[in-house]
């Protein structure tokens, strides 16, 4: 069964990288492309549909509901990753809210890895 892994970031740092990445900045893009490299040996679960995620992984970054200074990166399969931006974002937020609410349900608690600040 694929495993759901979420990445935790410093919110300001990830916002600072996300913008140039959308504008095609090579270094910022490389950062996002290599985010999931450490998990290549694993079967990563798509955050939205539970399908096994294929490499290169699509990432969606959303604010952490539990901590305003953090942001969470979720892996998406190819199909979910190519959804329209707003659909993708609102589905991701809906899942995050449900997860936040159901924090006590053991099965719904994903494995969150903190990404240390670069520099
Ligand atoms: Zn998916």
The per-residue pLDDT for range 37-69, each reduced to its tens digit, is: 999 999 999 999 999 999 989 889 898 888 889
In a domain, 93, yes or no: yes
Share of the chain above pLDDT 70, in %: 87
In a domain, 12, yes or no: yes
Ligand 1 midpoint to CA 76 (Å): 5
Question: What are the structure tokens assigned to 101, written together?
Answer: 């609410």
pLDDT at 19: 84
Q: Which of 73, 80, 20, 82 is nearest to 52 (CA)?
A: 80
In a domain, 61, yes or no: yes
Ligand 1 midpoint to CA 55 (Å): 13
pTM: 0.79
Ligand 1 midpoint to CA 7 (Å): 17
**Residue numbers of the domain that contains 103:** 5-114
In angstroms, how far apart are the furthest CA atoms of the chain?
40
pLDDT at 75: 95
CA distance 34 to 90: 25
pLDDT at 110: 61
In a domain, 119, yes or no: no
Phi, psi of 48 (to 5 degrees): -95, -35
């Amino acid at each position: 069964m694929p495993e759901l892994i979420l990445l935790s970031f410093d919110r300001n740092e990830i916002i600072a990288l996300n913008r140039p990445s959308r504008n095609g900045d090579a270094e910022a893009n490389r950062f996002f492309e290599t985010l999931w490299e450490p998990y290549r040996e694993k079967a990563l679960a798509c955050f939205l549909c539970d399908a096994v995620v294929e490499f290169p992984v699509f990432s969606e970054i959303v604010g952490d509901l539990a901590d305003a200074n953090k942001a969470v990166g979720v892996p998406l399969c190819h199909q979910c990753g190519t959804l329209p931006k707003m659909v993708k974002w609102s589905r991701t937020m809906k899942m995050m809210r449900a997860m936040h609410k159901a924090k006590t349900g053991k099965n719904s608690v994903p494995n969150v890895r903190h990404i240390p600040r670069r520099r």
